Structure 1
Amino acid sequence: MKYLNQHHQSLPVQPKALSRVIHQLLLGSLVCLPLHSVAQTAEEQNVEVISVTGSYSKSLEKAVDLKQSNIGFSDSIVATDIADFPEQNLAEALQRMPGVTIERNKGLGDKVNVRSLPTEFTHVSINDLATASGSGGRDVEFDIFASEIIQSVTVQKSPTAADEEGGIAGSVQISTARPFDFPGRKLIVSAEGAHNSISEEVDPKFSFLASDTFGDWGALVSFAKAQRTNRTDSNSGINFRPSGRFLEQRGSDSKLARADQAVAVLERDTGIVINDRFDTDVTNRIVFLDKAGDRVYLNDQDKWGATLSLQYKPDNNFSLTFDGMLGGYDNTEDEYDAAAYSASSISTFEQIHSYDNTTLAADGITVLTDVSYAATQHEFLSKERINNTDYSQFSLTMDWMINGFDIRALAGYSGAEKTTDYANLKHVAYAPSRTRYTANGGETIKSDNPASIDMYDAADSYLFEAYETELEEVSDDKYALQLDVKKALQLEFMPALTSVQFGARYTDKSKERNFGSAKIQGPAAGDSSWVNSRKLSDSELQWVTDIVPGGAYKAKDLNWMQVSNAYARDTFRYDGFAVPFNVADYYRVDEEVLALYAMANFDFTLAGKPVVLNAGVRAVDTSVLSFGYHQIQNEDGSNGYTPAPISKEGSYNDILPSLNMTVELLDGVLWRTAASETLMRPALTDIAYKRSVSWNEFRFKDGNPDLKPTMAKQWETGLEWYLENGGILAASYFWKDIEGVVREALTGVVKDVEKRNANGTLDGYYDFDVYQPVNADGSYKVTGLELIAQFPLTILHDALDGFGVNANYTKLDNTLTGASSLGIDTPPEGLADSTYNLTFYYENDSFDARLSYNYKDKYVERIERSMYPVYRDAYGQLDIAIGYQLTDNVKLSLKGINMTDEETTGYTMDPAFPTMNEYSGRRISLGLRADF
């Protein structure tokens, strides 16, 4: 009866919180409330307040307690678990939770996957507010959040009707600290320096938290600031390009001659006979290397976050809490790229040295693996991306018990402002060359053509093409109002019904985007005198390994000279230059959601076994208004298109039932079952009225305001065995039936579109396909198994006192397919078949050590040209954390990330065709933490 006794104590919302942290952590997951109103003092419950600074094993025990108390499937981590691993941001702090993995970008975790499903299938909230981050979709960019200001995280995998809809994979519910999380006065200060093995830079990080209570009042403030300089070396950018690039040329005699040459070379060197150059079912299955590049990235980040929490509790029946969260994330990424674009518009095949028609024979694909080209576009690109994100979140929460009712009200705002400033200095040399696959990437070398060049050592051959600039501003705002009412019941005619709860939530979300681009081609506005006259050698050149800190280029034995971004910005941006916003690229999407829910909680016995059951239903009404611009034919009859304003409304209604049940089979052994329907709304960028163009692919991409949400029916059942000393063994099986998955589809054709070359000359008039995101027909099933083993090893033998293991494994089986227009069998983007996390730890009064390995199976990163799936290879990373308690209040820590210096790799369809070989290095940090 241990579980039910604990659970009964939490059901009748009583004077004060069981723990203010549990009050935060459960965030809608308890049987009776969506978060919130669990309420007894720690003293009355004889339960320790969750303040586990410096003890990893204690944090695990508290997380297990939260899992056991929840009627649904969930997992949690608390402050010490978040703080004591060597994570670089909040995403990396979450990756050790059961079923949670992350997506990495140049060595940094930036997005979270739950149960291996794509990141946009996950709903994220902070302090019960869905979080804005300025991204283009509904996914949250976790790299903007400092993990030091986070108090706890719960991943809710089976929703109740009280939980906000939006997560098919699950809901990540984040809480910041509040003053009554700590008994009395609390001060925590930490500082560390971290060293990256490639950049050889040392980055500082600092954080503090101060909290105190004053009778009925409490105040807490926290602040964290971190800098990060990371270098990534990458042989990448290698992808398939259909041979139609050369075969389907039309128009001038020179274009037809190049097409005829491609036909002749294919027949001569491979035996492939092309009868119809425009038969895409044939040409799309003969592919070559579009581009091979060597790249050095330098990523500089400056991140800060702060929280403020004020609580007022005049008596046991009323509390008012204000939570505020502010932060900033400034990220400058320099990319220095030496690349060869084999598919240039004036090129064609000269000689096919080797090809592979066996590896991908099942899909009828022949890969031209080693080819000499007539006029490769060799490029030196100095790219600069400056991203600035400011986010803020404020909420006011009231808990009030009156006349037997527990009332909770919340009003909140979450917003993000993101600015992206992009520049690309481009120098080009057209010459014959040879591009081919290597064991772990691709390379471009001189061909047998006498006019061929050594692309890395021919600065006089490269001519200035443009200094391209882009500016994007995104504003993401969300307002929310919520009211929850709960009433405990003792009905003689229905004693099993212990409480009912109902509530409403209104949200108003708006995302607005401005975008502009401009090309500088001369020393003044309208001046193009630099085009095809200014050479690369006319600029100040440096070895790329001198421009960025660190040693030699790690992906190859290679070095080259380029223009630094600092020099480019100072030299090419003339006085008075500014990037204008383009009206045709503007969009705004407003979304309003009204949700009503009701649910009931039951407590009874079945076959002599105690049962707790929660059943409810949530009704959701969503309305969308999308503003943007559409391209219409010029009214004067001239060729070309003019942007015209357009708007459209959309709406949908849904009923989402849920059922969660827990049966205590034996003392400490629970059988848990859950069933529900949930939804995931389409990305606002997909809804928005906008049109983007890919000139090389002769394609427009439009938004679709008529998109409906992706729906899922899901259930899960599992057994959980709660061991002594905070251990747990658990296994669960889950099933999801997903329909309305958003796919990109051909929805129209625009005739006679004017296409111009990079130098402004007319290329011709072509028919452009129009693609839009649509809700795919049919449904798809995802099933999976999740295993958890967490326990101190002293259970096995007393000699292992202090040692422990925390492990979890998730395995998926699915019928979901990606959107390949060639019908290639592929899972959807982001879905990995298996993941696991394994942590061994040792801990005593003065010393602790953790060794953690995280593994994520291969997954589809993107589907190139909507045809060829590009995989991110399976990846495993070893991290360490060692701590020594210098005094009762001061702890020294040594942490390491990616200790085996794993590289990130990928391939198109098969490992025989690699797309990248990327190194981000290992990261070692040394820090001090003081707790008073």
Structure 2
Amino acid sequence: MRRTLFLSIALALQATATTAAAEPTRVSAEAIASQPLDRALNALSRQTGLQFVYNTQTAGNPRTPAVPAGLSADAALGRLLAGTGLRYRYLNETTVTIESDAVGTEPSSGMVTPMAVAGTDAAPLQAAATVEGVNPQNLETIQVTGSYSRSLEQAVDLKRTNIGFSDSIVATDVADFPEQNLAEALQRVPGVTIERSKGLGTKVNVRGLPSEYTMVSINDLATASGSGGRDVEFDMFASEIIQQVTVQKSPTAADEEGGIAGSVKISTARPFDYNERKLVVSAEAAHNSISEKVDPRFAFLAADTWGDWGGLVSYSQSKRTNRTDSTSGINFRPMSRFLSASGTRGTQAQAVLARDAGVNIVNRNNTDETNLVVFQDKVGDRVYLNEQDKWGATASLQYKPSSSFSLTFDAMLGGYDATEDEYDAAAYSASSRSTLDTIHEYDATTLSEYGMVVLRDVSYTATQHEMLSKERINKTDYSQYSVAMDWKGQDWYVDAMAGYSGAEKTSDYSNLKHVAYAPSRTRWTGRSGETVPSTPGGFDMYNASDKYLFEAYETTLEKVDDDKYAAQVNVTRMLDLAFLPALRDIKFGGRYTDRSKQRQYGELKITGPLAGSSAWVNTRTMADSPLQSIGDIVPGGAYTIKDLDWQQISNGYARSAFRYDGFYTPFDAGQFYQVDEKVMSLYAMADFAFDIGHVPVTINAGARYVDTKVNSFGYHPIQRPDGSTGYTDTPVSKDGSYDDLLPSFNMTAELSQGLLLRAAASKVMMRPALTDIAYKRTASWGSYRFTDGNPELKPTYAKQWEVGLEKYLDNGALFAASYFRKNIDGVVINSLTGVVEDVAVYNANGTLNGIFDFDVYQPVNAKGSYQVDGVELVAQLPLGMFTPVLEGFGINANYTMLDSSLAGESDLGIRTPMPGLSEKTWNFTAYYENDRFDARVSYNHKDEYVESIGYDMYPIWRDAYGQMDVSIGYRITDNIKVSLKGINLTNEITSGYTMDPSFPTMYEASGRRISLGLRADF
């Protein structure tokens, strides 16, 4: 029986080829390694948008040689078929036949024998058969739709054909896993980890480096963010509207800067990705185990083409209600807090230390002594309720009159509204009224290598007990528009883009604060800390609402506007030079960006029923307001961390009762800043392809010149003779500039069939955070210190190289291993940069306190370099290759290990890794799927890492964290699928400690999340 293979990629919302794959001009920097003809044609089809038809009986499935980087579709086909006895022929603009040189169709007949079809969609089969004269009944077809294994194969193809080191996930892996946002989808990419906050992935770390070291772009346009830095807040992006994400780890000269950690390149869909009308609708309901709320999620995509035109729209909306129970805030506080106090507070602390712990402090004002004795700063029991409303939409209008030209308009819009209620019952041990009473237990051995003594269990004279009702309302609106043109001539390729990316973020924060002072005893427990009454005068802090006095209703308001305009053009010239046959093409281009970020901030305290009134201070108690049990004030019932219950004032009541008519939080002129940044960059690079013996080699080499100009301004503080503080009447501005040349080199060599040696080297940079560039000055009058921004900051640079081996098997399996090194220069630190002499400081009553010299601290680029070494391992293995019994089973795993000399800044000289850097991370996914059923189990793990450095002295660690997620799907019909997904099924706890696990800082539970969904494809 004649067996004809029909290979297809059914592009749906959650199983699509990448937008880049559909654009013919984007193949110029790629290469297809040696592999069977059917796989090579499928890869080339995804890159060019062409559909290939051939007779498998006549053509067979020979192995094809490697295709050099930078070839047109015609040149690539010529190289693929060289020596196979096959030829290619265009039937129309999008369909190409592969046939024998000796046996083929006469041009006049218009008929061919039954053919296999390699193309970008299954749907055109009938049409192609009609054009070709193929009887569809003679075709035995295999069709893969919405398949996880197929998405892995596509990701492998992208990795294989890229000239540099990269890893990708495509739509099925982005949106069909149980992720809550784009950050959580990215955690499955080798070398990528995420930072979690209250059960939600928020920021992305590539190869263990901080999130601000990663460059992020959407449809080739660098993404604006509402943050104060350059890192992108991934939690605001809905994963359903994303079609593909590639993490580029070794840049080319054509890439915008590259990023020290890497570049995250996000693509959305375009209409000509599909060869037929497409409509996909999905709906989901998710349940959180702690809040016990059910949250809806909805998405759809619609695409169609008509003649030369195509249109696509997609939309996603979701709500999320997540409750987190936590003990936290249990950090170290240096004993200088008490010892440096005047009067009996300082002397009593000194005496108690000597009496109960045998610690003799010689000089109470010598921080070299006092910082080595620590106690608990605060113990808090907290409940968070986080409610999110997120929506995102894309639109694309495409004009494509031929395979050689397209003009595309892309738009991406979204909104992210998040309201977080925090109810906090806390005991602030370091109260300004308090000091040591009795030390019940101390530890002079655990941290003895640093000369530190930790007071484990202490009674205090006047602990500040706090009941805090906090509300954070964040609203982010983002938008992105771009126009892209692609043109392909016989020897020239040109693509150009112009676009805008903008984000506007508003943060409204309030804190209703009631306090009560009384003796208490605070100590570490097995996994957190606790506060109990001490006598005489102590009380049960959880059940004494009448003792808590109103202190203030604090409000802050912040608004950030981030706008970026960009334009670029890329030109490729294909070459076939007799004197230099290895040179395949040269590529050159330029990019101009204009970015402006503006920040406004203000704060105000309400202390009475009218503006300026302080009638409530120390007169109104917490009992004077309606109270609710913590188990009733948030959904989900009782506090889950401890056997505790307490009452607080809801944020809803606080907002209505404490904000008087006409209240608003004014912006503070002194906190305003604006940064304008203009960048011009030019690049040139070349692609080479040649054979060394029987080894095909491809090389990409080039350089990018970047010229940057910065203007930053803000207001500077002044103190008037009457004792009041204010700001300069006009902004104070300053310019900065820098330029550099960034070379890059990438190489692949196919040592044997399917075995690739890959190497790369480059110089990359990451620009400083805009908050550090902002030329504003803040004053600490009591500390005689000014803190300035620094527009003259230079980027942080890295010289990096990587070498690796990748083995590709015919069934889509992949084994890869690479070693990389990064030498990082110019890390930004805060440093003393000058002194302002003879600054007059006035008392509150207007009298002169004195004339002082003020130290000026600024962020600067540190001298010296730091080194990061790493190993990355990847394995993708369909188990059916071993035995038919395991057909449909497979694993997908990766492991990254880092060794870094990067040290956190500790004033005590404690060497720590850079905050956020985890030495070991790994992901493991096991899956099974057939025509109707699929199941996946995924576990991701991130080793412990330094989260921050408390008081610039004490490293605070986040414990290692592992999470198991599960997805099960069943296809009811060919068009309808039902799925059951689970996030954090093992209900993992987030925890941390200061310097040693016996000093825990937090214990946080966010629960598991179970969802049921339905998807329909038409």
Q: TM > 0.5 between the two?
A: yes
TM-score by length of 2: 0.86
Moved more, 699-708 or 467-476: 699-708
1:583–1:643 CA contact under 8 A, matched in 2: no
Match of 1:383 in 2: 470
Closer, same or farther: CA 755–472 of 1 in aligned 2, 3 Å: farther
Are 2:48 and 1:18 equivalent residues in the alignment?
Answer: yes
Partner of 2:33: 3
Give, in whole Å, the separation in 1 of the partners of 2:828 and 2:928: 46
Deviation of 1:65 (Å): 0.6
Secondary structure, aligned partner of 1:3: coil
For the 8 Å contact 2:253–2:684, the answer to whether it is kept is: yes
Q: Does the 8 A contact of 1:6 with 1:69 survive in 2? A: no
1:567 is matched with which residue? 653
> Which residue number in structure 2 is paired with residue 287 of structure 1?
374
Pairing of 1:787-826 with structure 2 (within 5 A): 787-826=873-912
Report the Cα distance in structure 1 between the residues aligned to 2:1013 and 2:225, rounded to whole angstroms.
29
Match of 2:512 among 425, 447, 451: 425
C-alpha distance 838-699 of structure 1, shift in aligned 2 (>3 A): farther
Q: How many angstroms does 1:31 deviate by?
A: 4.8
Contact 1:753–1:768 under 8 Å retained in 2? no
- Counterpart of 1:61, as a letter, is E
Instruction: Determine whether 1:406 maps to 2:471.
Output: no
CA displacement 1:613-641 (0-9 Å, x = unmatched): 0000000001111111222343x474645
| Structure 2 Cα separation of the partners of residues 863 and 834 of structure 1 | 21
Contact 1:33 1:501 in 2 (8 A): no
Amino acid at match of 2:285: G
| Residue from 694, 700, 713 that aligns with 1:627 | 713
Match of 1:702 in 2: 788
3-state DSSP of counterpart to 1:816: coil
- Find the counterpart in structure 1 of residue 916 from structure 2: 830
Using a 3 Å threshold, how does the CA distance of structure 1 residues 10 and 745 change in structure 2: closer, same or farther? farther
**Which residue, out of 334, 338, 341, partners 2:428?**
341
Contact 1:258–1:347 under 8 Å retained in 2: yes
Offset at 1:608? 3.0
Give the 3 Å change call, closer, same or farther, for CA 53–431 of structure 1 in structure 2: farther
The one-letter code of the counterpart of 1:445 is V
In the TM superposition, what is the alpha-carbon distance from 1:505 to its structure 2 partner? 0.5
Q: Partner of 1:26 in structure 2?
A: none
1:27 aligned partner:
none
Report the alpha carbon displacement of residue 122 of structure 1 after superposing the two structures with TM: 0.8
**2:155 maps to which of 60, 63, 69:** 63
8 A Cα contact 2:719 2:841, kept in partner? no
Displacement, 1:42? 6.7
* Residue 649 (1) aligns with residue 741 (2): no
Aligned partner of 1:169 among 255, 261, 267: 261
Structure 1 match to 2:133: none
- Alignment equivalent of 2:189, drawn from 82, 86, 97: 97
Which one of 544, 562, 579 corresponds to residue 493 of structure 1? 579
Query: 343, 346, 351: which is aligned to 1:259?
Result: 346
CA distance in 2, matches of 1:274, 1:399: 73
The alpha-carbon deviation at position 543 of structure 1 amounts to 0.5
* Contact 1:834/1:857 (<8 A) preserved: yes
1:868 to 954, 972, 993: 954
Per-residue CA deviation, residues 771-816 of structure 1 (Å, 9 max, x unaligned), is 4322111000000000000010012222111100000000000111
The residue correspondences of 1:717-728 to structure 2 (distance < 5 A) are 717-728=803-814
Residue by residue, what CA displacement relative to the aligned partner does 1:855-874 show, whole Å, maximum 9, x if unpaired? 00111111111111111110
Q: Which residue of 1 aligns with 2:451?
A: 364
User: In terms of mean alpha carbon deviation, does 624-633 or 575-584 score higher?
Assistant: 624-633
Task: Give the C-alpha shift of residue 917 in structure 1.
Answer: 0.1
Contact 1:10/1:18, CA 8 A, preserved across alignment: no
What TM-score does the superposition give when structure 1 sets the normalisation length?
Answer: 0.94
- Residue 54 of structure 1 deviates from its aligned partner by 2.1
Relative distance call for 1:569 and 1:611 in structure 2 (3 A) is same
**Aligned residue among 281, 284, 292 for 1:200:** 292
* Aligned twin of 1:617: 703
Report the equivalent of 2:106. Answer: none
Q: Deviations over 1:234-291 (max 9, x none)?
A: 0001111111111112xxxxx3221111111111111111111121111111111111
Q: SS of the counterpart of 1:407?
A: strand
AA aligned opposite 1:877:
Q
Give the Å deviation of 1:724: 2.2
Determine helix, strand or coil for the equivalent of 2:356.
helix
SS in 1 for 2:698: strand
8 A Cα contact 1:584 1:628, kept in partner: yes
Query: 1:158 aligns to what SS in structure 2?
Result: coil
1:183 equivalenced with 2:275 (yes/no): yes
The two structures, once aligned, show a CA RMSD in angstroms of 2.8
Structure 2 residue aligned with 1:859: 945
Whether the 8 Å CA contact 1:695–1:755 is kept in 2: the answer is no
> How many angstroms does 1:362 deviate by?
1.5
In structure 2, distance between residues paired with 1:73 and 1:731: 11
For 1:407 and 1:660, how far apart are their aligned partners in 2? 22
Moved more, 277-286 or 555-564: 277-286
Report the CA distance between 1:452 and its aligned residue. 1.5
Q: Is the 8 A contact 2:378 2:426 kept in 1?
A: yes
C-alpha change, 1:651 and 1:5, in structure 2 (3 Å) is farther
Aligned-pair distance for 1:697?
8.5
Query: 2-side partners of 1:348 and 1:421: how far apart?
Result: 35
Query: Contact (CA 8 Å) 1:42, 1:48: kept in 2 or not?
Result: no
Distance apart, 1:431 and its partner CA: 1.3
CA distance in 1, matches of 2:292, 2:912: 40
Residues 1:81 and 1:214: Cα distance change in structure 2 (over 3 Å):
same
Name the SS of the counterpart of 1:579 in structure 2. coil
Displacement of 1:702 in angstroms is 3.2
The alpha-carbon distance between structure 1 residues 15 and 918, as it changes in their structure 2 partners (threshold 3 A), is closer
Shift of 1:548: 0.2
Distance 1:221 1:770, change over 3 A: same
- Corresponding position of 2:27: none
Query: Which amino acid is the alignment partner of residue 699 of structure 2?
Result: L
**Residue 662, structure 1, aligned to residue 748, structure 2:** yes
1:17: Cα distance to partner?
A: 5.3
1:682 and 2:764 aligned: no
Counterpart position of 1:539: 625
Tell me what 1:241 maps to.
333
Whether the aligned pair in 1 keeps the contact of 2:724 and 2:844 (CA below 8 Å) is no
Residue number among 597, 620, 623 corresponding to 1:511 in the alignment: 597
Give the alignment of 1:408-487 within 5 angstroms: 408-448=495-535, 450-487=536-573
- Does structure 1 conserve the Cα–Cα contact (< 8 Å) formed by 2:192 and 2:208? yes
Mapped to 2, the partners of 1:724 and 1:137 lie a distance apart of 44
Q: Which residue of 1 aligns with 2:412?
A: 325
Query: Are residue 213 (structure 1) and residue 305 (structure 2) matched?
Result: yes
- Counterpart among 44, 47, 65 of residue 96 in structure 2: 44
Contact 2:69–2:584 under 8 Å retained in 1: no
1:125 correspondence with 2:177: no
Measured in 2, the distance between the counterparts of 1:695 and 1:56 equals: 61
| Offset of residue 205 of structure 1 | 0.2
The answer to whether the Cα contact below 8 Å between 2:35 and 2:753 also exists between their aligned partners in 1 is: no
Cα distance in 1 between the residues matched to 2:764 and 2:201: 27
Q: What amino acid is the match of 1:621?
A: D
> Is 1:640–1:753's contact at 8 Å kept on the other side of the alignment?
no
Q: Within 2, Cα distance between the matches of 1:38 and 1:858?
A: 47
Question: How far apart, in 2, do the equivalents of 1:906 and 1:695 lie?
Answer: 35
Can you list the C-alpha shifts for 1:629-685, whole angstroms capped at 9, x where unaligned?
222343x47464534521110011111000000000001000000000000100101
Greater RCO, CA 8 A, separation 6+:
1
What residue number does 1:315 align with?
A: 402
Gapped regions of structure 2 (runs ≥ 5): 1-30, 52-67, 78-89, 98-116, 123-143
Residue 355 of structure 2 aligns with an amino acid whose one-letter code is R
